[in-house]
Structure 1
């Protein structure tokens, strides 16, 4: 079984995916823009990403820039859970993801034995970062 997250942005998909690539690695591919699409969209939105994939060793993120008239509510309806391989990589990911965003639960050892932190990044996406020894 494989579960993929599909993330919606308001004109920031390229910026967000480059940000996530710096943290998690991977390769951005299968980029489609609105440029050649027969849809009613503002001219300055034509270069925005209608679809993109960030694919890494153990993850896939899909994303797009929602059309300006598409209703979006930043991050309130989902979290992305990330299980990291080391405590150090988990702490790094949490620190970077929370920069410019909001920390909801500090990254710390939990009662269930894992290291865990929860934050919303600067793009409005909720993250749960976890490392279990």
Structure 2
């Protein structure tokens, strides 16, 4: 079994995946637009992503631009969590991903002997970074 994140966007999925691709040094795979699909969406949606995946070392998630009949609201029930063991890498990813977003917890050493930070990125996706210091 494999449980995997599938992120929904409101027309800016390609932009977000480009951003995440740069942060994680990962590739966008299986990119499909609504253009050739027999799905009832307005013509303005035809160039939007109906499905894509981001794959790289230690990262793999799927994403799409939600169709007009799919309501999107920013929520706080789920966060993507990144576990690291390299302090410099944790600081670099935190800085890149949180840029333009909202910081909820600054990346700093916590009582469980780890660097930890939590934020919502510029696309409304919630993230947690945890870097074990032991």
The TM-score normalised by the length of structure 1 is 0.94
Secondary structure at the counterpart of residue 16 of structure 2: helix
Give deviations 1:53-95, integer Å, cap 9, x for gaps: 0011112010000002211112433100001241111111111
* Residue number in structure 2 paired with 1:51: 51
Q: Secondary structure at the match of 1:122?
A: coil
> Quick check: 1:73 aligned with 2:48?
no
1:3 and 1:84 map into 2 onto residues whose CA distance is: 20
Q: Is 2:122 the counterpart of 1:130?
A: no
**Aligned-CA RMSD value:** 1.2
Which consecutive residues of structure 1, in runs of 5 or more, have no partner in the other structure? none
Query: Residue in 2 aligned with 1:24?
Result: 24
- Tell me the TM-score normalized by structure 2: 0.93
Contact 1:26-1:55 at 8 Å conserved across structures: yes
Kindly tell me the number of residue pairs found equivalent between the two proteins.
133
